[in-house]
Amino acid sequence: RTEFALKETMSSGGAEDDIPQAERKTVTDFCYLLDKSKQLFNGLRDLPQYGQKQWQSYFGRTFDVYTKLWKFQQQHRQVLDNRYGLKRWQIGEIASKIGQLYYHYYLRTSETSYLNEAFSFYSAIRQRSYYSQVNKEDRPELVVKKLRYYARFIVVCLLLNKMDVVKDLVKELSDEIEDYTHRFNTEDQVEWNLVLQEVAAFIEADPVMVLNDDNTIVITSNRLSETGAPLLEQGMIVGQLALADALIIGNCNNQVKFSELTIDMFRMLQALEREPMNLASQMNKPGMQAEKPARRENPHKYLLYKPTFSQLYTFLAASFKELPANSVLLIYLSATGVFPAGRSDSEGPYDFGGVLTNSNRDIINGDAIHKRNQSYKEMHCLHPGDLYPFTRKPLFIIVDSSNSVAYKNFTNLFGQPLVCLLSPTAYPKALQDQSQRGSLFTLFLNNPLMAFLFVSGLSSMRRGLWEKCQDYLRKINRDIAQLLTHSRSIDQSFLQFFGDEFLRLLLTRFIFCSATMRMHKIFRETRNYPESYPQLPRDETVENPHLQKHILELASILDVRNVFLENTLDDY
């Protein structure tokens, strides 16, 4: 490789021997580092995706080599230009790999600061036009590298809520795809156009726009901020459990997605993260120089897009095994409902169906088996009974599905804290169908004000009013926290989870969602309401007159009081 690189770059009049020894060594060292870095990077694919310890030392080694490589090409750019023929797109490739490393480090640790690091590398590639000359070379595979860089950059920007950058990138990517397909007449044109359609739908998934005075869109973040979760007041007796691990599972048939994230998964993962801190790294110091925050800020997450039953169970078992003492495992299921095929005389944990898991086999074949014998249970389905073994440790389950009620028939076998929050199984026909753009229930858990505006029939809002309502909603959350902790008849599981900020916020938002739907004029059937296991005492929580008064007050601020029932208590 080295000899070839040197020979390739010899001037026609010169001879190989004219190259000074030091410069020859520079090229040799660079080729060694480049090969080593590629070898380590490719090895990342072979690391197990679950289990939190095995991968760390390997990642560290990979980072170290890329750090050396990056600094080396900066220090010896002149020699590498002259003797190796280093092209700008090759520098871009190194920067892009470092960006990918940071992004994967974020996926492995759930530490949002690493997203900022990935962003800074990806941005630099664009600002310094590292890939600009690629289009002049007659090599379609190089253009594909550029297109993939754009797609990866867009994912990082979406996760950081940098929607203005996303829009610019989508426009640039669109031009690049057009140029690529025009020049090379390739077969992957349909796939790249699908990427554009997916990201366009993803950006437009929010049902309500918040507008500045000049009508530009306000970017709202839904990660946990300092003022996010209601504070625990003195005298509140709550458990000391901490949320340590979460499985976020997306398996809805027709939901907006980008990369391997459905919009529901995207919203839920943000509800389980704090606002990122900026580690303020510059282009010249990548790698692990950036100081890691002192304590793990966010619970660790696994993001599973359309997993099979065996994949889901493997990740679940790995999380369960590694869960520290006094910690909680959260399972979030956003999936199509699977209903029992036949009638069953018993009412066990496998008799109510559950939610869909991905079948790698042909579904028609599976259906044929059911029709032959209706006494068998659904195979490609996560039944409530499948989760029983994991209730040996504190478990917090959220099910957003048309068959979420299957999980109402849970039994707490081991006496550990256990809560299931269950979505409505159907929404009123009068409510325009938004399911493709994400579930209303998950939207309430991620951005309750936006969900409230949507069910109130509002599609846009001025920033000033939005902020006023957010303040009022914080007050409502504080009051819900008091209702829960002061309740005489509430199941202790709720209180045991209430000490954790993320779970506290999810529980208060769940109660706000449930109370809102119960007061809404068009939500009139039982299946339109969220439920929980164990059940909440209604009169002290979701139908509490004090809370209902607050919801009417919020509706008044927005001038939508007519959407809600005034004297709700009389209607029951």
Q: What residues does 531 pair with on adjacent strands?
A: 422
| CA distances to 28, 386, 498, 509, 537 from 506, in Å | 56, 24, 10, 5, 17
Contact 434, 440 (CB under 8 A): yes
Q: How far apart are CA 557 and CA 179, in angstroms?
A: 51
Answer yes or no: do 341 and 461 share one domain.
yes
Residue-wise pLDDT for 412-455, tens only, equals 999 999 999 999 999 998 886 778 899 999 999 999 999 999 99
Answer yes or no: do 152 and 205 share one domain.
yes
Residue-wise pLDDT for 190-223, tens only, equals 899 999 999 999 999 999 999 998 888 888 888 8
Contact 361, 428 (CB under 8 A): no
Q: How far apart are CA 386 and CA 407, in angstroms?
A: 11
What's the token pair of residue 491? Answer: 């199941």
Q: How far apart are CA 563 and CA 552, in angstroms?
A: 10
Residue 232 pLDDT:
76
Looking at the structure of the chain, the number of domains it has is 2
Answer yes or no: do 175 and 259 share one domain.
no
Q: Does residue 343 lie within any of the structural domains?
A: yes
One-letter identity of residue 7: K
Contact 27, 1 (CB under 8 A): no
One-letter identity of residue 340: P
Q: What is the extent of the structural domain holding 322?
A: 242-277+297-361+376-563
Which DSSP letter does residue 559 get?
T
The stretch 265-271 carries a mean pLDDT of: 96
Average model confidence (pLDDT) for the chain? 87
Q: Does residue 353 lie within any of the structural domains?
A: yes
Reference 502, options 225, 238, 247; nearest CA is 225
Answer yes or no: do 313 and 419 share one domain.
yes
Residue 455 pLDDT:
95
Q: Does residue 570 lie within any of the structural domains?
A: no
Beta strand segments in 272-326, E: 300-305
Q: Does residue 129 lie within any of the structural domains?
A: yes
Which DSSP letter does residue 29 get?
H
CATH classification of the domain holding 334: 3.40.50
One-letter identity of residue 452: F
Residue 243 pLDDT:
96
CB-based burial label for 197 (10 Å; 0-12, 13-18, 19+): exposed
Residue 432 has φ and ψ, to the nearest 5°, of -55, 140
pTM of the model: 0.90
Q: Does residue 367 lie within any of the structural domains?
A: no
What's the token pair of residue 141? Answer: 């595979």
